[in-house]
Homo-oligomer: A and B are copies of this chain.
Amino acid sequence: MKKGEQVTIHDIAKALGIDSSTVSRALNNSTRVSKTTKQKILDKATELGYQRNTLASNLRTNKTNTIGVIVPRISRNFFSSVISGIEETAQKAGYNVIICQSFEDFEKEQKLMETLLSNRVDGVLISISMQTETFDHLMPYLNHGGPIVFYDRPCYIENCSSISVDDYKASFMATEHLIENGCKNIVHFSGPQINPLYKNRKRGYVDALKKHGLNFNENYCLESKLSENDGIVFAKEIIKMGHIDGIYSSNDTAAIAAIQYLKSKGVNIPKDIAVVGFNNDPISSVIEPSLTTINQPDFEMGKTAASLLIQQIQDTSFKKTSKVLDVELIVRQSSQHKKV
């Protein structure tokens, strides 16, 4: 940005022979400026091509009207839908949104928090990375009085709102669905147990087994970061195990990778092994057999998260709340095992 070309309120003031404070008030549509003057100022502003310097304004008013969003990866469908929800709500309330990717990396997440604090965003929405095990990097921001709301991946920090999905129930439903379809030896693809989200999903899986008199085998719970490659690795293990007839995966990515690998090895899905995923990625309806999965209200989660955060920004006495949204089991072909 070339310096010489910046038009400021002082230029407008000088051009009209008035004070810059009046210009400022006019541009903010204050009642303290007469209509005639206001019009003159507005006209001159467009004439000179004035554009408010938000940096200066933000510095003075001590707020940025900006919320920062930390997301593990924007490329995942679930997250990009959440972001759309956030943007919609934020825009309506007059807030800008800065989107940052942590790439599931703790150090990157730390740096992003620093940048957001340094840029004095009014609030932060964060879905913590899978690597994150401590929360010290959030404290400077919280100590400066900045509100944080957790979405998708809950995180129990005092005074922070969070919004998530009923992972336990979803998992229970998914596992029970496999059992009802005749599966007896169900493997679970799980994520890092440090995260309550994956813990809850595991609990749901275990409890569903228990309810139906199937005993839980710790070896059947395969933990990873649920990447495509993890799905393939797990599929290989499953073939080695030999007698597995069901897979409940904590995300679609790993489930789909596993299905493709198993199919390539001549395993019939769902006749030999039934599969249920999690997320309802677009790809899940395209793969053959189409994948039974859990649909989350992603867009709504984004809207709710943004709305909780904005309430906290605007009303510091706002009581912190935790919201849990409901999910839906989408039954497709991959789970039609051997229905009696």
Contact = CB atoms under 8 A, between A and B. Distances in A.
A307 interface: no
Nearest to A117: B51
A118 B114 CA distance: 23
A152 interface: no
Contact of A145 (B1, B52, B87, B143): B1
A10 B75 CA distance: 43
A118 B54 contact: yes
A114 B62 contact: no
A211 to B, nearest CB: 34
A260 to B, nearest CB: 7
Interface string A298-333: 000000000000000000100000000000000000
A3 interface: yes
A58 B167 CA distance: 43
A13 to B, nearest CB: 19
A53 B120 contact: yes
Contacts of A5: 143-145
Nearest to A282: B283
Contact of A55 (B49, B119, B122): B119
A64 interface: yes
Interface in A245-272: 256, 260
A118 B52 CA distance: 6
A80 B87 contact: no
Interface residues of A, number: 51
A14 interface: no
A194 interface: no
B52 A1 contact: no
A288 interface: yes
A74 B64 contact: no
A318 to B, nearest CB: 14
A128 to B, nearest CB: 19
Contact of A98 (B2, B3, B81, B98): B98
Interface string A168-202: 00000000000000000000000000000000000
Q: In this complex, which of A1, A52, A80, A98 has the most chain B Cβ atoms within 10 angstroms of its Cβ?
A: A1
Contact of A77 (B59, B75, B99): B75
A1 B75 contact: no
Interface string A71-103: 001110100110110010000000010111100
20 contacts: A1-B144, A5-B143, A49-B143, A51-B114, A51-B118, A53-B59, A55-B58, A55-B120, A56-B59, A73-B80, A74-B74, A74-B75, A75-B75, A75-B81, A75-B84, A84-B101, A96-B115, A283-B283, A287-B287, A288-B288
Given A51-B144, A54-B118, A75-B77, 18 more contacts: A1-B62, A1-B120, A1-B145, A3-B62, A5-B143, A6-B62, A6-B144, A49-B143, A51-B114, A52-B118, A54-B119, A54-B120, A55-B58, A56-B59, A74-B80, A74-B99, A99-B100, A283-B286
